[in-house]
């Protein structure tokens, strides 16, 4: 059968045309075997460009189409759809990437043109062997897993649940709420963080469509878009959730206190049986077995003795529960960690008592925090007379994190405001490199602080020390900084220093990204499918990301991303089924020797072995088309659809067309 191939070379404006001689490539392509039409056009992806393909198929009876333009990531779907409109099977199309792989990589016009020819030739040779394929329908399980119960996870879960879909919300800590629950006020409007967050937490706790799994972690994830099998470990709380009323008598009666390093950032204490904070959702307490006297020494049981419920809600025998759930989509909203400021020795955290981190200060100014909202030094009594707030601690620094953490300028301004409000006599200094306040109402907030009399010093603080050089510095912390706007080195004696540390990826983000089989960048943040146009999807179908696990961001951005991820998932759920690419492996049953090598190689457990007929078979619904079995089969009788040997060998010969003609080599038949 003789094929009629249409070849279309795209200028992509000047993106391709400035380095590749597209006219030359089109003329040359027209002379190749099987090629019936070869054209070049300014923008093949425009509707006019697509119509060109459609009309040629109808008028000239083309059977195969090649477009040499950008990456298939961008426009493969566009051109396949154009082929379908013209009356061809979408798989009769092949794309050559002469932009990312060619014109963008060099300024050498001659070399770029030659490579464009090679890539186009490879696509022409391959497309001749392309076979028509039909997309596979996959059913979408309507349940969704949301990992992380911070504000991102809460927004995503509520959006989905409100739309009538079931959501499993998994949270590692005993309560949902995340970092936002620890904050006092939120910039720039200064509304109370807890007041706006807790209603949402309560909604999550009471929503009939949300299964809340707190104090739980995802252990394993299998399956794929539409049908993920997820294993969740629900850690033992040692409190029976069915009977506990959340009265809190056990917490009151527990005789032991420990420093709370998680919620109170080490500034306050909590009981050994505890709720992280009063508005915690769910309300059930949890026993910290590492510090519990009963678990360590076998005595006490005060909580059990005083528990008023019948039957008693304290259950020392409780075990971790392993839950198996099936979901169609997964949203990761695992949040961030705060940079460990003790890595920067010159700022003295841990060595100088009155150097605080931003999170410690948040807890301190919080009315329900360990100091009841009083701003005091480490002795928890003396209010400071002067405070320096240091920006960019670990951010914008090659030695720690290169990126800007985005939120620190704004919360440092907020801190300055809170100090002015509570200690009107105190002097407040903000030492910044650049003041970054992009956002609705943010610059206005900066203006407000300028008016309130905060001292702004443009310069990164060199060091904080307690070694006085003059009398005024005695007993103070001395902040040494170059005030770059007046070109002076300054030594500012103050009582308190607040460090604004970088937001960094969770320390286990690498493992989490492997668990969910999606990407994670060098900084540990999860990688989105497209930084502008697809910020909440990942390269793995069915897995979405929201909030600070994708990169530093503030509450409004986090909430938007949570809702955006939910919208993406909801559209899949309402479609019910999605069409997957039919790129699947198949085994020639007649030639299979039954060696079972492919059975163990398959990472998706998609190959079964039939004992009776002694052959293996691929379960198409489970196969992901990775090609491992195709390469592993010693008899070479497994075929990957759309990646057959014929197609690949033809492609290789195509790409080497000029080498072949120069060497007078005849391909082996």
Stretch that binds another protein, among 108-116, 306-314, 416-424, 484-492 (CB under 8 A): 484-492
Kindly tell me which of 377 and 433 has the beta carbon lying closer to another protein.
Answer: 433
Q: Which one among 118, 210, 333, 461 touches another protein, defined by CB under 8 A?
A: 461
Stretch that binds another protein, among 104-112, 476-484, 560-568, 636-644 (CB under 8 A): 476-484
Using rule CB under 8 A, residue 107 touches another protein: no
Q: Which one among 482, 567, 621, 626 touches another protein, defined by CB under 8 A?
A: 482
Q: Give SS3 for 651.
A: helix
Q: Give SS3 for 577.
A: strand
Kindly tell me which of 438 and 634 has the beta carbon lying closer to another protein.
Answer: 438
Q: Give SS3 for 94.
A: strand
Using rule CB under 8 A, residue 397 touches another protein: yes
Buried/exposed 305-321: b ≥16 CB within 10 Å, e otherwise: ebbeeeeebbbeeeeee
Kindly tell me which of 480 and 644 has the beta carbon lying closer to another protein.
Answer: 480
Kindly tell me which of 397 and 508 has the beta carbon lying closer to another protein.
Answer: 397
Using rule CB under 8 A, residue 324 touches another protein: no
Q: Residues 420 to 449: which contact another protein by CB under 8 A?
A: 433-434
* Burial of 350 (C-beta count, 10 Å sphere; 0-12/13-18/19+): exposed
Q: Which one among 335, 384, 459, 562 touches another protein, defined by CB under 8 A?
A: 459
Beta strand 64-69 with 5-10 is: parallel
- Round to whole Å and give the CA distance between 2 and 4: 7
Using rule CB under 8 A, residue 398 touches another protein: yes
For Cα atoms 263, 265, 270, give the angle at the middle one, nearest 5 degrees: 55
573-576, long-range: CB < 8 A, 24+ apart: 573/140, 573/142, 573/144, 573/165, 573/328, 573/329, 575/140, 576/139, 576/140
Using rule CB under 8 A, residue 468 touches another protein: no
Closest by Cα among 133, 121, 61 to 92: 133
Q: Residues 374 to 393: which contact another protein by CB under 8 A?
A: 392
CB 314 → another protein: shortest distance, Å? 52
Q: Where are the alpha helices (DSSP H) in 423-487?
A: 442-452
Using rule CB under 8 A, residue 136 touches another protein: no
Stretch that binds another protein, among 146-154, 360-368, 460-468, 519-527 (CB under 8 A): 460-468
DSSP code for 349: B
Q: Which one among 46, 261, 382, 484 touches another protein, defined by CB under 8 A?
A: 484
Kindly tell me which of 116 and 478 has the beta carbon lying closer to another protein.
Answer: 478
Kindly tell me which of 482 and 583 has the beta carbon lying closer to another protein.
Answer: 482
CB 531 → another protein: shortest distance, Å? 23
The distance from CA 666 to its chain's CA centroid, rounded to whole angstroms, is 50
* Burial of 419 (C-beta count, 10 Å sphere; 0-12/13-18/19+): buried
Number of residues written out for the chain: 669
- Taken in order 91, 93, 94, 98, the sign of the CA dihedral is negative
Stretch that binds another protein, among 46-54, 62-70, 376-384, 452-460 (CB under 8 A): 452-460
Instruction: Count the residues of the shown chain that bind another protein, applying the rule CB under 8 A.
Output: 21
List residues near another protein by CB under 8 A. 346, 392, 396-399, 433-434, 458-463, 480-484, 487, 489
């Amino acid at each position: 059968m003789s094929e009629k191939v249409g070849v279309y070379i795209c200028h992509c404006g000047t993106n391709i045309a400035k380095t590749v001689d597209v006219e030359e490539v089109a003329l040359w392509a027209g002379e190749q075997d099987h090629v019936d039409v070869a054209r070049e056009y300014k923008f093949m992806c425009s509707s006019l460009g697509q119509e060109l393909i459609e009309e040629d198929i109808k008028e000239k009876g083309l059977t195969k189409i090649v477009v040499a333009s950008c990456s298939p990531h961008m426009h493969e779907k566009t051109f396949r759809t154009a082929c379908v409109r013209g009356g061809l099977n979408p798989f009769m199309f092949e794309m050559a990437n002469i932009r990312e792989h060619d014109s963008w990589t060099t300024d050498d016009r001659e070399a770029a043109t030659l490579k464009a020819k090679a890539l186009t030739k490879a696509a022409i040779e391959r497309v001749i062997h392309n076979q028509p394929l039909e997309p596979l329908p996959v059913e979408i399980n309507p349940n969704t897993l949301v990992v992380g119960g911070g504000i991102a996870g809460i927004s995503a879960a509520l959006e989905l649940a409100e739309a009538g879909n079931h959501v499993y919300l998994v949270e590692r800590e005993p309560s949902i709420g995340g970092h936002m629950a620890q904050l006092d006020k939120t910039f720039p409007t200064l509304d109370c963080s807890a007041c706006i967050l807790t209603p949402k937490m309560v909604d999550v706790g009471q929503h009939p469509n949300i299964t809340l799994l707190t104090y739980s972690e995802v252990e394993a994830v299998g399956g794929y878009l539409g049908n993920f099998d997820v294993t969740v470990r629900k850690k033992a709380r040692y409190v029976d959730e069915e009977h506990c009323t959340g009265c809190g008598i056990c917490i009151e009666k527990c005789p032991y206190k420990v420093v709370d390093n998680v919620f109170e950032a080490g500034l306050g204490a909590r009981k050994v049986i505890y709720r992280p904070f009063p508005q915690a959702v769910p309300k059930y307490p949890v026993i910290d077995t590492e510090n519990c006297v009963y678990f360590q020494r076998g005595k006490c049981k005060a909580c059990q003795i005083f528990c008023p419920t019948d039957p008693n809600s304290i259950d020392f025998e409780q075990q971790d529960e392993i839950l198996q759930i099936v979901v169609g989509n997964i949203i990761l909203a695992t949040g961030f960690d705060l940079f460990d400021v003790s890595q920067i020795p010159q700022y003295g955290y841990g060595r100088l008592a009155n150097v605080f981190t931003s999170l410690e200060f948040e807890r301190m100014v919080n009315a329900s925090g360990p100091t009841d909202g009083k701003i005091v030094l480490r002795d928890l009594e003396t209010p400071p007379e002067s405070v320096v707030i240091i920006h960019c601690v670990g951010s914008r620094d090659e030695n720690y994190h290169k990126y800007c953490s985005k939120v620190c300028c704004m919360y440092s301004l907020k801190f300055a405001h809170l100090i002015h409000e509570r200690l009107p006599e105190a002097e407040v200094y903000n030492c910044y490199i650049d003041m970054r306040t992009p956002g609705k109402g943010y610059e206005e907030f900066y203006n407000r602080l300028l008016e309130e009399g905060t001292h702004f010093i443009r310069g990164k603080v060199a060091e904080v020390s307690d070694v006085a050089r003059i009398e005024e510095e005695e007993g103070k912390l001395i902040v040494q900084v170059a005030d770059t706007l007046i070109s002076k080195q300054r030594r500012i004696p103050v009582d308190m220093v607040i460090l604004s540390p970088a937001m960094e990826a969770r320390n286990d983000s690498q493992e989490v990204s492997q668990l969910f089989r999606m990407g994670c960048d060098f900084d540990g943040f999860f990688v989105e499918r497209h930084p502008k146009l697809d910020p909440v999807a990942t390269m793995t179908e069915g897995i979405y990301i929201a909030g600070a696990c994708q990169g530093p961001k503030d509450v409004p951005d986090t909430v938007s991303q949570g809702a955006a991820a939910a919208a993406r998932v909801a559209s899949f759920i309402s479609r019910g089924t999605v069409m997957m690419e039919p790129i699947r492996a198949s085994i020639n049953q007649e030639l299979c020797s039954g060696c079972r090598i492919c059975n163990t190689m398959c990472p998706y457990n998609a190959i079964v072995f039939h004992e009776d007929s002694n052959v293996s078979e691929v379960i198409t619904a489970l196969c992901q088309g990775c090609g491992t079995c195709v390469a592993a089969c010693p008899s070479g009788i497994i075929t990957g659809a759309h990646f057959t040997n014929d197609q690949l060998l033809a492609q290789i010969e195509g790409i080497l067309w000029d080498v072949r003609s120069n060497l007078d080599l005849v391909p082996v038949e």
